[in-house]
Amino acid sequence: MEKGIVFLTPSLKIGGGNRVFVELANELVRDGYDAEIIYPNNSKEASTFNLNKDVKTLKISNFKDNKLKKLFNLLQTLWFVKNNRKDKIVIVSDPIMAIFSFLLKGLDVHRFMQADDYIIFDDLFLLKNKFVLHIYKKFTKISYGYRFVNYVFNSKFVCDSFIKISKRKDVNFNLVHPGINLSIFFNKNIRKDDELNICLVARKHPWKGFADFIKVWAELKKDKSNKINNIYIISNDDLSGFDISDYTLIKSSNDNEIAEIYNKSHIFISTSWWEGFGLPPLEAMACGCAVILTNAGGVNEYAAPNINCLMYEPRKTSELKEKLMLLIHNKELRTHLFLNALETAKSFSWAKSKNEFLKVLNTNHF
């Protein structure tokens, strides 16, 4: 493949979609490919990703802290790429950017779908207004019909969701799984046998389900037999809307710090109502945690209930309580799950993701 690759993102701040682009870019430049990340100057939040020095980055326009001005910056970014990267393969993931990707028509555009974009704002946390949500859904449906775009999916769940809404029969199931950095996320055998720690990655978005765990723990802690030494909450979000007085908040600045917390924890819990793929549970598996997660769609690419994890239905707090109590009081089950999970995690690496990604690009164009 001779063409360079441009990854378009709304920012470089922490987030699963951005992580995938950063890690793919890192792998590509190691193999001698030309990879660039271009994004609008719409966030002051610092990136915590480990970015290879050979990956080019370009921030477009001046910082804006107003929604309309941020949208203008985003459009400027697309227009810049349209006029200055005509010989590149352009990869778009963000749902808002994807809606406006008609501005890139004439370029070699791939839409890397990492979530069910149609429902991603249904909790009204970001859009807040049902009318605005309705308009967003209309335009998302329109964008699903862009015939000049090639599609890539990170899970069968995301592909099935796209096909259900778009009703298209001409889109191939081009699958590229995310990976994990196994040199960072691995079992260091440092967790203590005489204590029991829980870990979660928390976001303030309602569909991430953090409130579900808070409700469950408020009930469990009343019974002194459910003894937990530490509950670690990894988050860079503003969680002031939650009562986290029982927990230790970890504001991580890099992946090594996250991996260290996973390695101190015996149980990892993911409470999302849905996920396109869901990297944190897989990273926690690689670090030796016994994992409880929701039947959240994309996690089924790696989750095998009762073999490498315990699974419950999203928002069913009674089921979460039952699964958590089971792991708290059953060390043998925790050991069974994490030993199998360690083997599962070995199948996912960014080098493998890069190879899958290049295979899709070569199949479509070369």
Closest CA to 33 of 60, 8, 6: 6
Helix/strand/coil (H, E, C) string of 15-48? CHHHHHHHHHHHHHHHCCCCEEEEEECCCCCCCC
The Cα 320–Cα 310 span in angstroms is 9
Alpha-carbon torsion, ordered 93, 94, 97, 103, to 10 deg: 0
What's the pLDDT band for 365 if we cut at 50, 70, 90? low
Q: Quick: pLDDT tens for 248-279.
A: 999 988 899 999 999 999 999 999 999 999 99
Per-residue pLDDT at 64: 75
Which domains are present in the chain?
5-179+349-365 (3.40.50.2000), 197-345 (3.40.50.2000)
Q: Is the pLDDT of residue 334 over 60?
A: yes
Give the mean pLDDT of 100-111: 96
| pLDDT, tens digit (0-9, with 9 covering 90-100), for 188-207 | 999 999 999 999 999 999 99
Cα separation, 88 vs 5, in Å, equals 6
Q: How many residues are recorded in the chain?
A: 366
Is residue 48's pLDDT more than 80? no
Contact 152, 162 (CB under 8 A): no
The model's confidence at residue 116, banded by pLDDT at 50, 70 and 90, is: very high
Q: Are 80 and 38 in contact (CB under 8 A)?
A: yes
Residue 185 in contact with residue 265, Cβ under 8 Å?
no
274's CB contacts (< 8 A; 6+ apart) are 116, 119, 157, 207, 294, 296, 297, 298, 314
Please, which residues have CB within 8 angstroms of residue 246's CB and are 6 or more apart in sequence?
217, 221, 231
Residue 289: which of 301, 280, 302 has the closest Cα?
Answer: 280
- Among residues 238, 226, 207, the alpha carbon closest in space to that of 267 is found at 226
Per-residue pLDDT band for 364 (boundaries 50, 70, 90) equals low
Asked whether the predicted pLDDT for residue 1 surpasses 70, the reply is: no
pLDDT single digits (tens) 7-39: 999 988 776 688 999 999 999 999 999 999 999
Cα Dmax for the chain = 64
Integer distance in angstroms from the first to the last C-alpha of the chain?
A: 7
Least confident of 5-14, 106-115, 280-289: 5-14
DSSP letters, 244-279, are: -TTSEEE--SSHHHHHHHHHH-SEEEE--S-BSS-H
Contacts with 195 (C-beta within 8 Å, 6 or more apart), sequence order: 229, 230
- Kindly report the number of other CB atoms within 10 A of residue 43's CB atom: 17
Confirm if 298 and 119 have CB atoms less than 8 A apart.
no
| Percent with pLDDT over 90 in the chain | 87
Q: What amino acid occupies position 324?
A: L
Average pLDDT of the chain, as a whole number:
94
Q: Tell me which residue has tokens 């929604």.
A: 67
Query: What are the φ and ψ backbone dihedral angles of 267, each rounded to 5 degrees?
Result: -130, 130
Q: Measure Cα distances from 129 to 123, 133, 282 in Å.
A: 10, 6, 34
Are the C-beta atoms of 291 and 84 separated by less than 8 Å? no
Is residue 366 over pLDDT 50?
no
* CA atoms in the 13 A half-sphere facing the CB of 140: 23
140-181 residue pLDDT tens: 999 999 999 999 999 999 999 999 999 999 999 999 999 999
The 10s digit of each residue's pLDDT in 117-132 is 999 999 999 888 999 9
